[in-house]
């Protein structure tokens, strides 16, 4: 699962960079007035990258916490 999440992060980042280049090229050739709506594409891609990154890190924290809790259960009572 970790690998798929990382691949999707890279996908959204690469798509954002490509979209930014495309929007820059379109703006240069057609002007801002004709292409300003396309500026949303790289913004959405970067937002998805950041969201996926945040979610992947949270999932890793959850998995580590769960593993620690299960290890503590397996160790048994501490016998205070």
Domains of the chain by residue range: 1-53
What share of the chain has pLDDT > 70, as a percent?
Answer: 96
Q: Determine the pLDDT at residue 75.
A: 83
**What pLDDT, on the 0 to 100 scale, is given for residue 42?**
97
Please check whether residue 56 is in contact with residue 5, taking contact to mean a CB–CB distance below 8 angstroms: yes
* Length of the chain as a residue count: 80
78 pLDDT exceeds 70? no
């Amino acid at each position: 699962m970790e690998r798929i999440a990382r691949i999707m992060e890279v996908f959204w980042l690469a798509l954002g960079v490509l979209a930014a280049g495309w929007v820059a090229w379109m703006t240069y050739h057609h002007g801002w007035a004709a292409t300003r709506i396309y500026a949303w594409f790289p913004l959405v891609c970067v937002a998805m990258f950041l969201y996926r990154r945040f979610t992947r890190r949270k999932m890793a924290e959850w998995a580590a916490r769960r593993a620690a809790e299960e290890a503590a259960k397996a160790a048994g009572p501490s016998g205070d």
